[in-house]
Amino acid sequence: MRDPSRINRVLDAIRRIWTKNPDLRLTQMILNVGGDNEDIFYLEDDELAERLVALYSDQPPRNQPFQDYGED
């Protein structure tokens, strides 16, 4: 069985990133992780969260100074 605590870790990463980038739609944010050619259907949840953080920590949020997306 997968670790149930992963759910909060993934949702926390999504919440932090989405709050700082409110113009993104959820589907856009998640599909951007895979780029144009990668099938992310089988991507593990923790890997999704890690990729989201890596992808969106490289760019500052719109109309805001750069902030780290690490732990709040």
Per-residue pLDDT reduced to its tens digit, 13-67: 999 999 999 999 999 999 999 988 889 999 999 999 999 999 998 665 555 444 4
Would you state the pLDDT for residue 37?
Answer: 86
What confidence tier does 71 reach under pLDDT thresholds 50, 70, 90? low
SS3 of residue 29 by DSSP: helix
CA distance 43 to 4: 16
Would you state the pLDDT for residue 64?
Answer: 47
* pTM (predicted TM-score): 0.73
Would you state the pLDDT for residue 67?
Answer: 47
